[in-house]
Structure 1
Amino acid sequence: MHLRQSQIKTEAVLNRLAVLTANRDAEMLETSLLKTLSDILHLPDLMLFKLNGVQEPHRIIRFRNGILYKGNPGDAEELVIPACILDAAKHAHFADEPRIERTGEGWVTLYPIIGVDEVFGYVVLFTQQELTDTEMQIVQGLLSIVKNFYALLLDSQQDKLTGLLNRKTFDESIEKLCAPAESENNPQSENERRKLPAGEHWPNWLAVIDIDFFKQVNDKFGHIYGDEVLLLLSQIMKRCFRSQDLLFRYGGEEFLVLASTENKASARTVFERFRREVQAFAFPQVGTVTVSIGVVQVKDQGIASEIVGEADRALYYAKEHGRNSVYFYEDLVNDGLIVDSVKSTAVDFF
């Protein structure tokens, strides 16, 4: 399994680097990194896990024997992080160097992924023998490239004021979520599809969040306090939603959330809890601020623009009926309070 320096072909490495840096999505970049390391070093088992805001593992990608697994800790047998790795991670957290551990089944080499100012994840290599110096240099070199690329990628994806994901990133995310499993925009092998953990099959929800009477905040207190409201609201979002949920600032006072929950009741609980948290928060100088929220389920192979439009219609209903509330598009249609967008389009056509 070990490689000698003379065996490593420059052309193969450069080709893999081209594939690696062609990605414009963080998860695709991480997946490509594992596959690149597997190809170059002939490693059968690799893992990458990210840390959340309290430095706990929350998102895992594992490439094992040619099969890709993705999910959260414990979603599947392959997505359980062994105790020895968690212990090694504690020691590696403040070091730039990899940590090497001997286990009963071989060797575990742990590389911290370092962002601008902190460790935000780890790459784990499971091997039968200890890595050679050449192999370790290759891993560190690839991680250096990924670190620099991460910084560029995150800068292009984030809203400058709040640090949430921006509108461009939302457009890409919703398109990918709606894309058929085998479309060009969402390539997925048979192995990847059948090994998705159970959590991945939970329904996805899009919530459009709008700050009530935000114009009055700007007019009365000025844009500095208005920006502070936006920033503090984004911080409440980060506290209320899970680390794997995607949080966006769409523009102005409008925010979006892409989240998966077990069912609609769970989704309602999540978004209602957030609404109450905002209402209970004392915003400096401004005082109480409320939000209106429209929610829709993101169905497989749906049309992204229609899904966003449906969430918007639920939001508008909330705005027109008292504000400071959460409405689900499907509930409004079933109760006859609004007309389904598909039926409405068909009527207009004829």
Structure 2
Amino acid sequence: MAKLIEHLIKLTDHRDRDLLELTLAKALIDLLPIDRVVIARVLSEEGSKRWLEVATMDARGGGKVVDPLRVEFQELSPIEELKDRFNCVRERQRVVVAWAGEEGPRITYIPLFLDSRNDDDGVIEIHSGTILTGEQLQAIGELHRVFLNMYNLLAYSDRDPLTGLLNRKSLDDTFYRAVLEELDEGQSTHLKLLEAAVTPGQERRHRVPPNYWLGTVTVDDFGKIGDQHGHLIAEEVLLLVARIMNNTFRTYDRIYRFGGEQFAVLMHCPDETLVLAAFERFRVNMEKFNFPQVGRVTACGGFTRISPDDSPSAALERAERAVDFAQNHGKNKVFSHIDLVRKGCFGDAPRVGAVDVF
């Protein structure tokens, strides 16, 4: 009982939604006589859906966690390719596969999310030596319900109420969790991240891998839209901007709204050219879109590479300087802060950014 309470405390002690799957997998391995747990989520990109195994735990030791920001989507398994997982998600029912006789080892698939209205999809995949007993399934169900309650609570607190995008508060957790991926390569990295996930209050190291980028977006002349068309139409524009961002950037890029007409994107990408191309696609998609009752609406974007010992506020300040440069040079443009520095476009000392960082 003491061990169960310990894991329940860990499940409810997080402020970060993305660590809940890992904590759930750890609890199942510790509390039940099972061999392996895999928690897989469904990622979507341009109409294609694939499996991402976000957390894996083995009873004999070892584990793996995957940062969705760092995955190569095309290397993931298509959702239909793993038929038992697919059936579990499609029917939202438990699926049991006995692969070596009725009394032998089996895999039990449980839908990670039970509400068909939820856009999130995933499975809990449990490998066991024999069939799970009713008591064991009940224990799994109770832990699962705690997970879902915490997931929904954190989802509510992490989201902008108007657009449903992530809010400013949630950026810090994602920003600093990405830092841990730099500590080591291979399995040791995953185990250290696991330790951080299940040990509340562990000190974070503020070092960030070189391929993370943070960009901000500001809708051009948004004040005029509100003045000419009213508050409700201005809100509708923001909702459509959020939709365009969701349709343009990858599903595992993190998209934020900070309030007003200011948005942000956190992504993992190998080089500056690809990041610029992603923001340019968004800019063009904005320019081509016909906003009802408003017509043409454009936006400016700016982005920066996240550097070692960086902080969210420092990175945001650099990205905002690039946005300001775009707005002061014709609007409807995207600039890299690094490129502007290389070209000598900033001759003055950095100022405090316009983004509210508190």
Q: TM-score of the superposition, structure 2-length normalised? A: 0.81
> Residue 323 and residue 277 in structure 1: after superposition, are their counterparts in 2 closer, same or farther (change >3 A)?
same
Which deviates the most, 102-111 or 283-292? 102-111
1:82 shift after superposition: 9.8
SS in 1 for 2:106: strand
1:137 shift after superposition: 1.4
The equivalent position to 2:12 in structure 1, one of 15, 21, 24, is 21
Q: Structure 2: how far apart are the matches of 1:30 and 1:110? A: 15
Contact 2:209 2:308 in 1 (8 A): no
1:130 shift after superposition: 2.3
Task: Output the amino acid matched with 1:222.
Answer: G
Paired-residue identity, % = 28
- 1:86 matched to which residue of 2? 82
1:323 shift after superposition: 0.9
- 2:238 matched to which residue of 1? 230
SS in 1 for 2:317: helix
Runs of 4+ in structure 1 deviating by more than 6 angstroms, as ranges, are: 82-85, 193-196
Task: Output the amino acid matched with 2:3.
Answer: A
SS in 2 for 1:56: strand
> Residue 42 and residue 181 in structure 1: after superposition, are their counterparts in 2 closer, same or farther (change >3 A)?
farther
Map 1:17-166 onto structure 2 (within 5 A). 17-52=8-43, 56-61=49-54, 62-64=56-58, 65-71=61-67, 86-103=82-99, 106-114=105-113, 116=115, 117-118=117-118, 120-166=121-167
- 1:299 matched to which residue of 2? 307
Which deviates the most, 302-311 or 115-124? 115-124
> Residue 247 and residue 57 in structure 1: after superposition, are their counterparts in 2 closer, same or farther (change >3 A)?
same
- 1:168 matched to which residue of 2? 169
Task: Output the amino acid matched with 1:17.
Answer: L
- 1:5 matched to which residue of 2? none
Structure 2 runs not aligned, ≥5 long: 195-207, 351-358
> Residue 223 and residue 73 in structure 1: after superposition, are their counterparts in 2 closer, same or farther (change >3 A)?
closer
1:115 shift after superposition: 5.3
Q: Residues 149-198 of structure 1: CA distance to partner in whole angstroms, max 9, x if unpaired? A: 2111111111111010111112333344457967xxxxx993517999xx
Contact 2:37 2:126 in 1 (8 A): yes
Contact 2:163 2:239 in 1 (8 A): yes
SS in 2 for 1:258: strand
Number of residue pairs aligned between Structure 1 and Structure 2: 325
Map 1:266-305 onto structure 2 (within 5 A). 266-305=274-313
Task: Output the amino acid matched with 1:170.
Answer: L
Contact 1:204 1:258 in 2 (8 A): yes
Q: Structure 1: how far apart are the matches of 2:111 and 2:48? A: 12
Q: Structure 1: how far apart are the matches of 2:144 and 2:276? A: 40
* RMSD, aligned α-carbons: 3.2
> Residue 145 and residue 23 in structure 1: after superposition, are their counterparts in 2 closer, same or farther (change >3 A)?
same
SS in 2 for 1:124: strand
- 2:202 matched to which residue of 1? none
1:81 shift after superposition: 5.7
1:89 shift after superposition: 2.6
- 1:346 matched to which residue of 2? none
Structure 1 runs not aligned, ≥5 long: 1-9, 183-187, 343-350
Q: Structure 1: how far apart are the matches of 2:242 and 2:144? A: 30
Note if 1:12 corresponds to 2:3.
Answer: yes
SS in 2 for 1:235: helix
Contact 2:225 2:234 in 1 (8 A): yes
SS in 1 for 2:214: strand
Contact 1:293 1:315 in 2 (8 A): yes
1:71 shift after superposition: 4.5
Which deviates the most, 298-307 or 244-253? 298-307
Q: Structure 2: how far apart are the matches of 1:180 and 1:113? A: 25
Task: Output the amino acid matched with 2:155.
Answer: L
Contact 2:69 2:253 in 1 (8 A): no
1:289 shift after superposition: 0.6
